Amino acid sequence: MLYVVIIFLCLSILLYLLLGGADFGAGILELITKSELRQNTRMLTYKTIGPVWEANHMWLIIIIVILFVGFPPIYSALSIYLHIPLLFMLLGIIGRGTAFVFRHYDAVKDDMQKVYNLIFTYSSFITPFFLGVIAGAMVSGDINPEATNFFDLYIAPWTSFFAISVGIFTVSICGFLAAVYLSGEETDQHIRRVFIRKARLLNIATVVSGGLVFFAAYIDGLSLMIELITQPVTLIILVLASLSLWLLWHFLNKQKTNQQKAVASRLVAGFQITMILLALGYHYFPDFLIMHNGVNLSLFNSAAVGKPITTLAWALILGSIFILPSLFYLIYSFQKEPES
Amino acid sequence: MDDLMAARSQMALSLGFHIIFACIGMVMPFFMATSHFFYLKTGDLNHKNLTKAWSKGVAIFFVTGAVSGTMLSFELGLLWPKFMEHAGPIFGMPFSLEGTAFFIEAIAIGFFLYGWDRFNPWFHWVTGLIVGISGLASGILVVAANGWMNSPSGFDYVDGKYINIDPIAAMFNDAWFTQALHMTIAAFVATGFAVAGIHALMLLKGRNVAFHVKAFKIAIIFGGIAAIIQPVSGDISAKDIAKRQPAKLAAMESHFETTKRAPLLIGGIPDEKNKTVDYAIEIPGALSFLAHGDFDATVIGLDQIPEENHPPVLVTHLAFQIMVIAGMIMVGLGLLYFFAAWRRKSWLNKKWFLTLFVAATPLGFIAVEAGWTVTEVGRQPWILYGFMKTSEALTPMPGITYSFLIFTLVYLSLSAIVIFLLYRQIKSVPELYSDNHSKKSAEPTQ
């Protein structure tokens, strides 16, 4: 049953990055969109993400619950040593969620909208950035429970070059996903071209910032790159992701004139991100939190024993029976016909 | 402020904030669905407008409740990692199920808010109802988890280790039912009276009368019935606490000495140093009766409990008194409404009548906050009653005061914005949902 829980955990992380990521990305896109097109981006975001954004956010809750029920030492260690970036991420989540709803449900449209927009866009940037920073800190080996001063205990782990570059990488991924996703929703050909251009730019940014992660790993003395390209499985996965770049650009090109091609672009974009996560997941599995002293917290040595895992697994299975079909139907219903 | 106090204050602030939004988020959908039902049955546009207006409220409160709930799920770890490390696997079951309920709620709200004119009207109605039902389920599950902190079960504690964990037994702990019952009814009371109060205020202003009359009626019927039955669940809770947490009951009632035929205190200010209560009205034997169903029963006082395990008496006592008084006023108002609706219809649009309900707007939430203060402060110094003290659960990270300040700021601004939004929402009702033909009729149609 532990494997059931682990599968749900991995799946939730993947879905949060893909769906929640596209969600955050919409805010990032708005931030980098020229002012004359901003209103357009905003409406498109509202139309496409409005019905599902709360559901997208739920994957994070599932991750948190799985961690504290199933792997309490990991949850506890994260909460202690990454308290500060978690706090920033939390502030981002609050700002984003509330601003999104406030700006659409405020009965009066006036200058307050500017405030909501400001909060929405910047928190859309902050949240994935710190999410990435936290992920980077978790595998960097910089968390050191034996340290004795405040800086080494609570600041150093997440301010390394590596952790910051993972943060930047995550932001690029979110922006990229959102651009690909939204370009498929846009019916106006001219504006669609703008989105497609952004999707390409952000795709390049993703590749470059991915390179930055490797560079940072090298500078910080982590053997990430060597290990990823010397393990046959991760190497194959990364090669597949790279090869699909060509496909993506091809479909994006087609999509300029034919909106129907959007599905293909989306699938390829999703595939690329899934591959990156898969390669990293495969590389680090089962370690979840790599500590300075070499005593890593893994999904096996940190798992709760016995009944908690079994009941958690059943709760997840049961939950997914209810959730997945209705979530699918929700996404399907709002996809099948354009809003009247 | 030391870190423990800062962490406790932050937790109290977060919970205090979340409770308001969670209550409204789980009860408003039922009001909305009721109004929606009348619209579908009769085609009355006022009911349609009301449904739409309330659904915006539901959206705003849902999201604020969701983000504040997310914050809590992080804060449990950020502030009390030592507690969560042990407790997570034991009381995680209700949280796992709550995840499902909440997810369903999020999906249903997507359907409902964006589904006007897209689906079969009754399917659309059902999605609105599901928002309410899954919200209610979330609330009950989270309260069950809190019940476990008051009444730990489902594990064996051997040599400082929590073993033989049974998450199902932990979820169905002795306190879950009484606490969930009391809280669920409280949510209906609080939301009912708050919503009714706001619409009563609009009625006093005399605009969109037909709209607000319908709104007031739905809200006060829910709130009034809930208020009238709440004392029954309160009595069940009191008997339960007397059995399981005598220290909490003693603090609630400032009952310093163990006595037979214990009196019930009404009001009063406890003096913790001299172990006396000033200015209280005593009803002989009533506490014994409330706690044990027998006027001559012995009620355990704080003298039977080691000094270091005493909860703060003053806060718990005052909070309890506030809750009871607020509750009683609402019982009275509930009865008044039903009497008026039955026998004195002319009262319903009298100024004094409406003013009473406007004044009662915050009462339910005052009672809810006070009730939670009793539950949480009354459990101190334990985070897990009888097993782990709050001070042992605290994060080792220093500087929690700063975190407390940041969150105070966030909560204050969020509250300000929500109040501002609601104000604008209510103010724009005339433009959005104006109904010329019914403006003149000030006569409520009961």
Which among A73, A315, A318 has the least Cβ separation from residue B85? A73
Residue of B nearest to A58 (CA): B103
A61: chain B residues, CB-CB within 8 Å: 70, 73, 99, 102-103
Residue of A nearest to B100 (CA): A319
Q: pLDDT for B13-42, tens place per residue? A: 989 989 998 999 889 999 999 999 999 889
Residues 293-352 of B with CB under 8 A from A: none
- Highest-confidence range of A308-322, B176-190, B282-296, B411-425, by mean pLDDT? B176-190
Residues 92-111 of B with CB under 8 A from A: 92-93, 95-97, 99-100, 102-104, 106-111
Q: Calculate the average pLDDT of chain A.
A: 84
Which among A50, A98, A334 has the least Cβ separation from residue B67? A98
Contact B89 A308 (CB under 8 A): yes
Contact A315 B96 (CB under 8 A): yes
B117: chain A residues, CB-CB within 8 Å: 340
Residues 252-291 of A with CB under 8 A from B: none
Q: Kindly report the nearest CA distance between residue A212 and chain B, in angstroms.
A: 30
pLDDT in the model for residue B209: 84
Which of B10, B76, B103, B417 is the best residue to mutate to test the A interface, defined by the most A CB atoms within 10 Å of its own CB?
B103
Determine the average pLDDT of the residues in A60-79. 90
Q: Calculate the average pLDDT of chain B.
A: 87
pLDDT in the model for residue B332: 93
3-state DSSP assignment of residue B24 = helix
Give the DSSP per-residue string, B374-440.
HHHHTTTTEEETTTEEHHHHS-S-S-HHHHHHHHHHHHHHHHHHHHHHHHHHHHTHHHHS--HHHHS
- Contacts of residue B34, Cβ cutoff 8 Å, sequence gap at least 6: B218, B222
Q: Kindly report the nearest CA distance between residue B434 and chain A, in angstroms.
A: 14
pLDDT in the model for residue B422: 82
CA nearest A1: which of A320, A315, A309?
A309
pLDDT in the model for residue A336: 62
Q: Residue with structure tokens 């990692």?
A: B81
> What is this model's ipTM?
0.85
Assess contact for B85 and A72: CB atoms under 8 A.
Answer: yes
Per-residue confidence at B276, pLDDT binned at 50, 70, 90?
Answer: confident
Which of A9, A69, A118 is the best residue to mutate to test the B interface, defined by the most B CB atoms within 10 Å of its own CB?
A69
Is the Cα dihedral B205, B211, B217, B223 positive or negative? negative
pLDDT in the model for residue B363: 94
Q: Pick the range with the lowest mean pLDDT from A78-92, A182-196, B181-195, B322-336.
A: A182-196
More confident residue, B432 or B370: B370
Q: For residue A119, how many other CB atoms are within 10 A of its CB?
A: 21
C-alpha–C-alpha distance, residues B248 and B244, integer Å: 9
Which among A75, A100, A330 has the least Cβ separation from residue B111? A330
pLDDT in the model for residue B441: 37
Residue of B nearest to A107 (CA): B425
Residues 227-246 of B with CB under 8 A from A: none
Which among B78, B104, B118 has the least Cβ separation from residue A322? B104
Determine the average pLDDT of the residues in B311-325. 90
Contact B114 A58 (CB under 8 A): no
Q: pLDDT for A17-47, tens place per residue? A: 888 888 888 888 888 877 777 777 787 877 7
Cα dihedral: A242, A248, A250, A254 (round 10): 180
Long-range contacts of B114-121 (CB under 8 A, 24+ apart): B114/A50, B114/A51, B114/A334, B115/A333, B116/B52, B117/A340, B118/A333, B119/A333, B121/B40
B95: chain A residues, CB-CB within 8 Å: 65, 68-69
Which among A61, A62, A68 has the least Cβ separation from residue B84? A68
Q: Residue with structure tokens 């997914």?
A: A320
A78: chain B residues, CB-CB within 8 Å: 77
Whole-angstrom CA distances from B50 to A105, A123, B45, B209, B222 are 15, 33, 8, 12, 16
C-alpha–C-alpha distance, residues A209 and A204, integer Å: 8
A150: chain B residues, CB-CB within 8 Å: 398-399
Which among A61, A86, A308 has the least Cβ separation from residue B78? A86
Q: Residue with structure tokens 């046959």?
A: A232
C-alpha–C-alpha distance, residues B293 and B223, integer Å: 28
pLDDT in the model for residue B440: 37
Given a cut of 70, is residue B435 above it in pLDDT?
A: no
C-alpha–C-alpha distance, residues B190 and B172, integer Å: 26
Assess contact for A8 and B103: CB atoms under 8 A.
Answer: no
Q: Residue with structure tokens 């929402």?
A: B425
Phi-psi category of B267—alpha, beta or left, where left has phi over 0 and alpha has psi -120 to 50?
A: left
pLDDT in the model for residue B437: 41
Q: pLDDT for A261-312, tens place per residue? A: 777 878 888 888 888 888 888 888 888 888 888 788 888 888 888 888 998 8
Q: Pick the range with the lowest mean pLDDT from A51-60, A154-163, B379-388.
A: A51-60
Q: pLDDT for A84-139, tens place per residue? A: 999 999 889 888 888 887 887 777 777 788 888 888 889 889 999 999 999 999 98
A154: chain B residues, CB-CB within 8 Å: 397
Global confidence as pTM: 0.86
Per-residue confidence at B96, pLDDT binned at 50, 70, 90?
Answer: confident
Contact B99 A61 (CB under 8 A): yes
pLDDT in the model for residue B434: 58
Q: For residue B260, how many other CB atoms are within 10 A of its CB?
A: 12
Contact B410 A91 (CB under 8 A): yes
Residue of B nearest to A145 (CA): B396
A77: chain B residues, CB-CB within 8 Å: 81
Is the Cα dihedral B162, B166, B171, B172 positive or negative? negative
